[in-house]
Structure 1
Amino acid sequence: MTPRRTRTRTRTRIRPAAASALAAALASALLAGCGAGADSAPPATGASAASTVRRSHNAQDVTFAREMIPHHRQALAMAALASSRAKSPQVKSLAARIEKAQKPEIDTMSGWLGGWGERVPDDSATGMEGMPGMDHSASPMPGMMSDAAMGELRNLTGDAFDGAFLKMMIGHHEGAVAMAKTERAKGAYGPARTMAASVITAQSAEITEMNALLRT
């Protein structure tokens, strides 16, 4: 009888000890799991790594910003003429929308260049005056108007202005779309590529709108 009672008491003592050990192991595992989630992250792999790389910028992104800023500035200069020279309410409305869309984009791209340690193009009507050695009549940026063409537009009013404005802005927009497509194909900086996609969508739609106005 004595040995049997001894075995019973031994089993009784083991059970609480085993439970305590199990509880401690579970607590340790939970703490380890929490620590991994709060203080550390697994190394980026696959799509995550690619996303990290895409947040950096390359030479094409710099070119896109430095060329699109003066390109946008010239569009703003053209649009600003419409308020006092255009006859068509549709042309005036289009010009106002161009100003509203492109001014914030200039500010955004200027911020990118500053953050990258790159020079922001001088603030001028066409943006070309601040480019050393630049021939104002032969811009490397597609769709840019020459100084002579801008001068002619300033001297027009009414129907004559509307027709010239639409034709010039169509060419200007086509140039911007071409530049944006290059950025989409070769750029690395996510926000710049997103802006390029927006330029392609918005200005392609405006080209369609302007062609329709010319036919009326």
Structure 2
Amino acid sequence: MIRKRSLVRRPLVRRSAAVVASGAAALVLAACGGDGDGDGSAGHGGHSDATASASSSASASAPQGQHNAADVAFAKGMIPHHRQAVEMADLAPGRARSAEVKELAADIKKAQGPEIRTLSGWLTSWGEEVPAEGAMDHSMHGMDGMMTAEEMTELENASGKAFDTAFMEMMIKHHEGAVEMAQTEQADGAHGPAAKMAGEIITSQSAEIEQMHKLLGKD
């Protein structure tokens, strides 16, 4: 009897072990299948979807605050550019003969003065240095339509019709440079308000370029 019990129990032990082993193998296969199926598994795909969702959410909340190197370059370049335009416009009241040139100069000053303050505020909020006033205004001459010191002196020494002509010819070149800078900002920048300002600069200064060409054509 004792021998028979021993024989009966052995198959049961072997069968239980086989069931456990089979179950473990099934678990391993299931785990491998879940990990390995990178193309369409719910587990892996779910992780990607969650990551994509998080990225999408982050980018959706970022636009107003984010900026990049193109935005910084736009602000740092446009500040001295606008300062020089205002400096040129300040010469008109006492030197220009044409009422239209005087009005144009006043419009330029009225538009670009506030933009300088806005651009400076962006740079400060981004932890960037605002371009210093003074000599730096002329340090960019030859680039983006900036006037040289000699050209500015020529304008300061002109009056009457000669001033009107020189002012408009120089300002056309100056505006064309600003439009190019604004187009670069629109193409490469990330800061929404800067792109909006760039669009306004393109629209207003392109219209002023056209106006000055017409006024020059009257002479």
Question: Is contact 1:74-1:127 (8 Å) kept?
Answer: yes
Determine the C-alpha separation between the residues in 2 that align with 1:125 and 1:162. Answer: 25
- Determine which structure has the larger helix proportion and give its number: 2
Cα 1:205–1:49 change in 2 (3 A) is: farther
Question: Is contact 1:58-1:188 (8 Å) kept?
Answer: yes
SS where residue 54 of structure 1 aligns? coil
Aligned residue pairs total: 165
Q: TM-score, normalised by structure 1?
A: 0.72
Cα 1:126–1:75 change in 2 (3 A) is: farther
- The structure with the largest alpha-carbon Rg is 2
Match of 1:58 in 2: 68
Matched ranges for 1:26-105 at <5 A: 50-55=59-64, 56-105=66-115
C-alpha displacement of 1:52: 2.8
Structure 1: runs of 5 or more not aligned:
1-42, 129-135
Match of 1:121 in 2: 131
Determine the C-alpha separation between the residues in 2 that align with 1:44 and 1:64. Answer: 30
Question: Is contact 1:176-1:199 (8 Å) kept?
Answer: yes
Question: Is contact 1:73-1:124 (8 Å) kept?
Answer: no
Match of 1:23 in 2: none
Matched ranges for 1:147-166 at <5 A: 147-166=149-168
- Cα deviation digits, residues 35-91 of structure 1 (max 9, x gap): xxxxxxxx7786x75443322000000000000000000000000000000000000
Cα 1:92–1:125 change in 2 (3 A) is: farther
Determine the C-alpha separation between the residues in 2 that align with 1:79 and 1:161. Answer: 11
C-alpha displacement of 1:123: 1.8
Identity of aligned residues (%): 56
Cα 1:187–1:149 change in 2 (3 A) is: same
- Cα deviation digits, residues 107-155 of structure 1 (max 9, x gap): 0000000011100011227624xxxxxxx4x636310000000000000
Match of 2:41 in 1: none
Determine the C-alpha separation between the residues in 1 that align with 2:91 and 2:146. Answer: 16
Match of 1:201 in 2: 203
Aligned amino acid, residue 129 of structure 2: R
Determine the C-alpha separation between the residues in 1 that align with 2:100 and 2:84. Answer: 20
Match of 2:120 in 1: 110
Match of 2:180 in 1: 178
Q: TM-score, normalised by structure 2?
A: 0.71
Determine the C-alpha separation between the residues in 1 that align with 2:144 and 2:176. Answer: 8
Question: Is contact 1:88-1:159 (8 Å) kept?
Answer: yes
Aligned amino acid, residue 65 of structure 1: A
